[in-house]
Amino acid sequence: MNFFQGIWDIVIGVCFLYFFVLGAVGMTVLLKRAFLERSKVKYGLSIYLTALLVYVVTKLYTVSPLLTLVGLGAFVIVGVITYKKFTIEVSS
């Protein structure tokens, strides 16, 4: 039973990591578009969704502190990479 529980934990962890990566990419692109278009609605939406993502991550802390750190790290790293890539593509 422990083997299957370990496999299940890995699958759940990968799903959460995928969610955080998608969230980071989406939030970064939305925030960059908000800056370019000077849209208050997109500013508000990006702030709200980022706060929601951080809230979900902090609630995960009660389940697994390591998963929380990995999720936040993935969110920050992918957000920075996407921001730099999107900035280079826009300026080219």
pLDDT of residue 91: 56
Sign of CA dihedral 2, 7, 8, 9: positive
Question: With b meaning 16 or more CB within 10 Å and e meaning fewer, what string describes 25-41?
Answer: bebbbbbbebeeeeeee
pLDDT of residue 8: 72
pLDDT of residue 43: 75
Low pLDDT (below 70) residues in the chain: 1, 17, 57, 60-63, 86-92
The 10s digit of each residue's pLDDT in 55-67 is 776 776 666 777 7
Question: pTM (2 decimals)?
Answer: 0.45
Q: Dig out the tokens for 83 from the structure.
A: 């921001």
